[in-house]
Amino acid sequence: MNIYVCIGSSCHQRSSYAVMRQLKAMIAENRLGNSVFVSSAFCLGHCAAGVTIQIDDEIITGVGMGNIADIFQDRILAAVR
């Protein structure tokens, strides 16, 4: 599974780096480092609704520190287990 976190200027201003750090921490905690890969991406085309992430082919907008744990549980953990 590949996850891209937008670090374009709009998403960057909305703390996309914190989202990425949290994602990497949760992946490590769950020992998913060999199956879930996080990388940065430049503008994913949904700036007004950022932070934007892409999980494989699915775009998810409105991501932040308040919902990244739920997104991880529902969209990432559930898909790989």
CB of 48 to ligand FES, least distance (A): 8
- Element of type H or E holding 3: strand 2-6
Q: Which single residue brings its beta carbon nearest to ligand FES?
A: 8
Instruction: Considering the complex, state which of residue 22 and residue 52 has its C-beta at the smaller distance from ligand FES.
Output: 52
At 5, give phi and psi (nearest 5°).
-110, 125
CA distance 73 to 40: 20
Tokens 């969209």 -> residue: 75
Q: How far is the CB of 29 from ligand FES (least distance, A)?
A: 26
- CB-nearer residue toward ligand FES: 6 or 36: 6
Q: How far apart are CA 47 and CA 51, in angstroms?
A: 7
Give the binding site for ligand FES (CB under 6 A): 6, 8-11, 43-47, 50, 52
Using the minimum distance from each CB to ligand FES, give the nearer residue, 27 or 44. Answer: 44
